[in-house]
């Protein structure tokens, strides 16, 4: 059977979380972090190995907290997202502090990942359903068409909102055949008494449906994506050579691939509830949610025996 890889983006520092490394915060009863549960779900879904995208300065603590432990149950590799990892002919603008976004995070895996692969955020809990759906889609025979057969987990907006502040979500447009036609990054999304609302053009809140499909940066890709990411990164750097905060983002890359006819992106809808640590106050919610999942038999008390 076709092998598949899990790629976890874990290079960011959570500023809204309080400046700590939110991806490495213990959440489970034995010190498990959110990544532990994602890796456990990926293994059960059939993924064969995991690639962590982190930073070189974080590697020692990263290996201590999770990497060395996971290496005992499945093959582990590391890729590094660094500010100065850019194509020849380009220079880092003076004053730029942060790496270049999720598009660059996946591009740094181009020499390591050889199989169809799943991309997730390190600090998001996605539930088990999406891992199974994406794994099964990646190992399907999609024929020899001219378009890349990609996929995306489609979450329900109401299942992804925080109790502790506004969030940004990629609201997805889906055609009648279940394929993605576009993703619109939408900020200021909050829970309301009537459902949800987002930032309007005049600064007021505009009601939106809690049932809208959204992207949580959970993508199923084939290695063909690396060529598109490389070409797109060069174009991005040309356009943003003096913009110190511009980010090269996966939804923008996927959107261009769809609109230029280079990819078909199947939206695989999941009813599972997302949770994560966007804000420091979210930690208690995550810990309670994990305890309930254990009590309900979704996870064992000790994940890896």
Asked if 37 and 290 touch (Cβ cutoff 8 Å), the reply is yes
Asked if 166 and 189 touch (Cβ cutoff 8 Å), the reply is yes
In sequence order, what are the beta bridge partners of 208? Answer: 196
- Residues 222 and 64: their CA atoms lie apart, in Å, by 30
Asked if 111 and 229 touch (Cβ cutoff 8 Å), the reply is no
Burial 70-79 (b: 16+ CB within 10 A, else e): beeeeebbbb
For a pLDDT cut of 70, what percent of the chain falls above it?
96
Instruction: pLDDT band for 17, please (50, 70, 90 cuts).
Output: very low
- Residues 24 and 63: their CA atoms lie apart, in Å, by 10
In sequence order, what are the beta bridge partners of 150? Answer: 265
Q: What does pLDDT average to over the chain?
A: 90
pLDDT digits (tens, 9 = 90+) for 253-300: 999 999 999 999 999 999 999 988 777 788 888 999 999 999 999 999
- Check whether 23 has a pLDDT greater than 80: no
- Check whether 18 has a pLDDT greater than 60: no
Asked if 126 and 41 touch (Cβ cutoff 8 Å), the reply is yes
Nearest to 35 by CA among 59, 85, 69, 4: 69
Asked if 123 and 14 touch (Cβ cutoff 8 Å), the reply is yes
- Check whether 16 has a pLDDT greater than 50: no
Query: Containing H/E element for 304?
Result: none
- Residues 221 and 105: their CA atoms lie apart, in Å, by 14
Q: Rg of the Cα trace of the chain?
A: 19
**Among 152-156, 192-196, 221-225, 253-257, where is mean pLDDT lowest?**
192-196
Q: What is the model's pLDDT at position 21?
A: 66
**Among 1-5, 70-74, 120-124, 280-284, where is mean pLDDT lowest?**
280-284
First to last CA, the chain: 27
Q: What is the pLDDT averaged over residues 127-155?
A: 93
Asked if 240 and 94 touch (Cβ cutoff 8 Å), the reply is no
Q: What is the model's pLDDT at position 241?
A: 81
Asked if 213 and 153 touch (Cβ cutoff 8 Å), the reply is no
pLDDT digits (tens, 9 = 90+) for 150-184: 999 999 999 999 888 888 898 999 999 999 999 88
Burial class (CB in 10 A: 0-12, 13-18, 19+), 226: middle
Q: What is the pLDDT averaged over residues 203-229?
A: 93
For a pLDDT cut of 90, what percent of the chain falls above it?
63
Instruction: pLDDT band for 22, please (50, 70, 90 cuts).
Output: low
pLDDT digits (tens, 9 = 90+) for 233-249: 999 999 998 888 899 99
Q: What is the model's pLDDT at position 167?
A: 87
**Domains of the chain (ranges, CATH numbers):** 5-295 (3.90.550.10)
Q: What is the pLDDT averaged over residues 206-220?
A: 93
Q: What is the model's pLDDT at position 295?
A: 96
- The number of C-alpha atoms within 13 Å of 138 and in the hemisphere containing its C-beta is 31
pLDDT digits (tens, 9 = 90+) for 103-132: 999 999 999 999 999 999 998 999 999 999
pTM beyond 0.85: yes
- Residues 199 and 201: their CA atoms lie apart, in Å, by 7
């Amino acid at each position: 059977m076709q092998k598949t890889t899990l790629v976890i983006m874990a290079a960011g520092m959570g500023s809204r979380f309080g400046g700590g490394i939110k991806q490495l915060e213990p959440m489970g009863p034995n010190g498990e972090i959110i990544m532990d549960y994602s890796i456990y779900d990926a293994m059960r879904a059939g993924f064969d190995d995991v690639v962590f995208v982190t930073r070189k300065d974080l590697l020692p603590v990263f290996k201590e907290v999770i990497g060395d432990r996971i290496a005992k149950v499945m093959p582990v590799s590391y890729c590094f997202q660094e500010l100065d990892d850019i194509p020849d002919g380009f220079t880092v603008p003076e004053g730029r502090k942060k790496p270049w976004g999720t598009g660059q995070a996946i591009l740094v895996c181009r020499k390591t990942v050889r199989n169809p692969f799943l991309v997730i955020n390190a600090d998001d809990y996605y539930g088990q359903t999406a891992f199974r759906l994406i794994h099964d889609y990646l190992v399907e025979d999609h024929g020899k068409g001219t378009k890349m057969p990609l996929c995306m987990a489609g979450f329900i907006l109401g299942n992804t909102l925080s109790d502790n502040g506004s969030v940004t979500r990629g609201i997805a447009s889906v055609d009648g055949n279940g394929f993605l036609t576009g993703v619109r990054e939408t900020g200021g999304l909050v829970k309301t008494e009537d459902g949800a609302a987002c930032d309007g053009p005049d600064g007021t809140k505009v009601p939106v449906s809690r049932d809208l499909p959204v992207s949580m940066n959970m993508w199923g890709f084939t290695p063909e994506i690396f060529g598109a990411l490389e070409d797109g990164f060069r174009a991005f750097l040309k356009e943003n050579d003096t913009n110190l905060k511009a980010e090269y983002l996966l939804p923008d890359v996927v959107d261009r691939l769809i609109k230029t006819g280079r990819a078909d992106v199947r939206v695989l809808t999941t009813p599972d509830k997302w949770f994560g640590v966007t804000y420091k106050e979210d930690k208690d919610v995550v810990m309670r949610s994990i305890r309930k999942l254990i009590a309900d038999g979704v996870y064992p008390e000790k994940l890896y025996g």
